[in-house]
């Protein structure tokens, strides 16, 4: 990876999205000395099969689990935007919030989800598509242009992101070898206790998935992305 990438921002919809989609890549980047921060759009407050659970209680649990997972990977900052799970819409307020976070942390690389509907219904959850589209719209043009969201000035100066990675599982541009950090990815995933339940089944699925993504390159485990390099 480009040595000029010093700061990385991972923008996702729910607590646990970063670890499932990019936990190994994040662990690698932290080991390489890059500063990684998270922006998570929703509270993840609907993902429970427990009929006695309430969205308010679940939001608190999921925030704590996310902080633990981020700590396991060495992520420096975690910001929750506080939107309700499952109802994320591409609004001016969401674009303003994401633009503000990009301008605050000034990442060289933004990692986000996949903006396309695919037949993998879990991976292409509506909130995932929405946050990915919004993240792209905020990298360009709103984070870059000083007249976009004038209320952010002068506290949040414009910022140019250099590159974007989009989580991609079909014909990806970039295959990241995560073999050496697979243990860290799994450790971070175990922090999402309310989501993973019995971890044995989850671990088997994650290993199988990441092994499949690495097969073409001969890596034991990999995560895959499409890459956009912004013109300077």
Of 11, 12, 15, 10, nearest in space to 59 by CA? 15
Q: Which of 8, 11, 17, 62 binds Zn ion (CB under 5 A)?
A: 17
Q: Give the nearest distance from C-beta 174 to Zn ion in angstroms.
A: 21
Q: Which residues contact 61 (CB under 8 A, 6 or more apart)?
A: 194
Q: Give the nearest distance from C-beta 186 to Zn ion in angstroms.
A: 18
Question: Is the CB of 17 or the CB of 108 nearer to Zn ion?
Answer: 17
Q: What secondary structure, in 3-state letters, does 101-138 show?
A: HHHHHCCCEEEECCCCCCCCCCCCCHHHHHHHHHHHHH
Closest-by-Cβ residue to Zn ion is 14
The reply to whether 43 sits near Zn ion by the rule CB under 5 A is: no
Question: Is the CB of 17 or the CB of 223 nearer to Zn ion?
Answer: 17
Beta-bridged to residue 216, according to DSSP, are none
Question: Is the CB of 143 or the CB of 188 nearer to Zn ion?
Answer: 188
Phi, psi of 73 (to 5 degrees): -95, -10
The reply to whether 62 sits near Zn ion by the rule CB under 5 A is: no
The Cα 20–Cα 162 span in angstroms is 24
The Cα 174–Cα 180 span in angstroms is 17
The reply to whether 95 sits near Zn ion by the rule CB under 5 A is: no
Question: Is the CB of 78 or the CB of 143 nearer to Zn ion?
Answer: 78
Element (DSSP H or E) covering residue 204: helix 199-214
Question: Is the CB of 17 or the CB of 65 nearer to Zn ion?
Answer: 17
Q: Give the nearest distance from C-beta 168 to Zn ion in angstroms.
A: 16
The reply to whether 65 sits near Zn ion by the rule CB under 5 A is: no
Q: Which of 14, 103, 104, 192 binds Zn ion (CB under 5 A)?
A: 14
Residues binding Zn ion (CB under 5 A): 13-14, 17
């Amino acid at each position: 990876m480009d040595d000029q990438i010093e700061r990385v921002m991972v923008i996702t919809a729910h607590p646990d999205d970063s670890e499932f989609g990019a936990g190994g890549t994040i662990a690698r980047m932290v080991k390489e000395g890059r500063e990684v921060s998270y922006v998570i759009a929703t509270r993840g407050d609907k993902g429970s099969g427990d009929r006695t659970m309430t969205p308010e209680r679940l939001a608190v649990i999921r925030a704590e689990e996310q902080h633990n997972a981020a700590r396991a990977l060495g992520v420096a900052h975690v910001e929750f935007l506080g939107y309700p799970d499952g109802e994320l819409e591409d609004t001016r307020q969401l674009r303003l919030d994401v633009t503000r976070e990009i301008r605050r942390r000034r990442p060289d690389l933004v990692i986000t989800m996949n903006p396309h509907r695919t037949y993998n219904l879990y991976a292409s959850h509506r909130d995932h598509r929405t946050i990915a589209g919004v993240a792209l719209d905020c990298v360009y043009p709103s984070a870059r242009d000083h007249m976009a969201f004038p209320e952010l000035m002068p506290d949040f100066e414009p910022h140019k992101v250099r590159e974007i990675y989009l989580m991609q599982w079909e014909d990806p541009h970039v295959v990241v070898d995560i073999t050496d950090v697979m243990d860290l990815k799994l450790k971070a995933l175990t922090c999402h206790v309310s989501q993973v339940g019995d971890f044995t089944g989850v671990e088997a699925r994650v290993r199988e998935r990441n092994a499949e993504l690495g097969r073409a390159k001969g890596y034991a485990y990999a995560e895959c992305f499409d890459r956009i390099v912004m013109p300077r």
